[in-house]
Amino acid sequence: MPEPYTSNHSTPSEDLRILGKTEIRIAPVGLGCWPIAGMTSLDVNDQDSLRTLRAAIDMGINMLDTAYGYGANGESDALIRAAIAGQREKVVIASKAGMHWKPDGNRCFDASPSRVVQECEESLLRLGVDEIDLFYLHAVDPKVPIQDSAGAFAALLEQGKIRSVGVSNVTVEQLNSFSDVCDVAAVQPPYNMLQRGIEKDLVPFCIERRISVINYWPLMKGLLAGKIRRGHTFAPEDKRLSYEVFQGAKFERAQQLLDCLDDVAKDVGKTLAQVVVNWTIHQPGITATLCGAKRDWQIAETAGAMGWRLPDAQMNRIENLLGR
């Protein structure tokens, strides 16, 4: 295991990026707070989670991405509240509404206007803040017209409870419908070297309308960090087995990519994860990428993807392998 981080680093202001058409500025790497909620990650504890949050801020990561549904009872929000005490001005808090957990442990999607407002108000209390900087629709609720959900976000914006609005896991058509009712500053889709579908439609749409793309899964659940190599034995309950990229020919193609990325990382003196994240934050239309972590050294590593850029020769080498 790597040594705990010891660096005291901040992201230069010139490296911060504008969020949509707002005046909010964010670092190109954000901390995804799902792992610290402890819902699906093993060996999670409050002490390490607080250390991870504080390390992220110390390393120049100023966006903390949480959600009402990150934890059965707001565990992620409570940890963020503790971590940002006395330094609220240093962070951009992104949260989401529209997904919660039932008492029986099942996930429930509810993006009705009343539920969106309720989750926002509860999140404000959990976080101990007066406003949420970026508030997303977590996912489209098939039972609720997306325009109705958008109306609730527009009202929260007008009331000053949130500073900007985002939508997560949407199609271009859904994003367009939402935007007809409420201005959108950011969209949050999955995106990485192995999943590039958004480049065809969503990214061009967002570039044209000055909507930030803040993606998740840049390391594809550890695969692109080099944690899962040929011959890896998955536990039967490992949910990664349900993704095609971890199966058959697609898994072997990913391994061939990792072989190449190992060489790139060696050439530029960075870790494989840093190379992958750096490639991601320099793709057209990508404003920031969210990296999950449950230990300080993990987020310190991915924070090291900021402040530099892969040489053109290495970018071209990667693109040729990806077959863009």
State both tokens at 125.
Answer: 């209390």
**CA pair distance 265, 271, nearest whole angstrom:** 6
DSSP-assigned letters across all residues of 46-111: HHHHHHHHHHHHHTT--EEE--TTSSTTSHHHHHHHHHTTT-GGG-EEEEEESEEE-TTS-EEE--
Cα 321 from Cα 271, distance rounded (Å): 19
**For residues 93 and 129, what is the distance between their CA atoms, to the nearest angstrom?**
9
Q: Please give the DSSP secondary-structure letter assigned to residue 233.
A: -
Task: Out of 68, 70, 136, 216, pick the active-site residue.
Answer: 70
Q: Note if 5 is an active site residue.
A: no
232-247 in b/e form (b: 16+ CB < 10 A) is eeeeeeeebeebebbe
Positions marked catalytic: 70
